[in-house]
Amino acid sequence: MRSERRLIWLAAIGKLVFLSLWIRHFGMVPGDREIMMLVRAFPEGIVRFCAFAGGVPTIAGLTVLLAWLHRKYVHPLTVIGAMVPIPIIEWILKHLIGRPRPLGEGLAFPSGHAIASLTLLLLIAGYAWSGRSRTQRVVFSLFFLIYVVAVGVGRVALGFHWPSDILGGWLVAVIYVSGILRFLQYWRQEAGSRILAPLNVRGNS
């Protein structure tokens, strides 16, 4: 299992480096314009829903809600604290690549909203998956998939990002969460820290 996670982590790093270098030197990724035109042709209701799903208040509220609901499996501070450095990571990468937004001012690659949304759901899944039934896993997987895709669609439809910016954000999230899980595993095993252990929930402990 550890070897599989390491392979996923290394594959994500390789793909992110390749995608970053491509955008840095060539600017446009094949298919970006076509996918963006397709997404921007979606019905207004779908675009509004996706824009709401990817809004900062929605992501922040969902972070607090999911962190509290899954406090039996992971300390809420672990989830909330993991979200704090994301704007810094996003800012550094955006200025390294320097890709302008499709519309408006600012930099596009990678999408910070894509990083944040997938980071949140991967963290919850990484800790709570083993404690859920098969049916619950299917339901959560569908919710996670719909939500993450909706965030990406919203950012592209509004003209803030190219589709490859969303892909880059997802790759960053996979790398970032893998690093967090490895670090916390080491901290608990080697350092014996109990600061970030799950909270005891009455009736479920």
What is the tally of structural domains in the chain? 1
Asked if the structure places residue 7 within a domain, the reply is: yes
Across 131-151, average pLDDT: 84
Question: Would you say residue 199 has pLDDT above 50?
Answer: no
In tens, the pLDDT along 31-77 reads 999 999 999 999 989 999 999 988 888 888 888 888 887 777 777 88
Asked if the structure places residue 78 within a domain, the reply is: yes
Across 158-180, average pLDDT: 93
Query: Could you list the residue range(s) of the whole structural domain that residue 130 is in?
Result: 2-191
The span from the CA of 157 to the CA of 72, in Å, is 37
CATH number at 136 reads: 1.20.144
Question: Would you say residue 205 has pLDDT above 50?
Answer: no
Residue 64: its pLDDT value, please? 86
The span from the CA of 144 to the CA of 108, in Å, is 23
Residue 197 backbone dihedrals phi, psi, to 5 degrees: -70, 160
Percentage above 70 pLDDT, the chain: 86
Helix runs in 55-162, H state only? 56-69, 76-83, 86-97, 112-128, 134-157
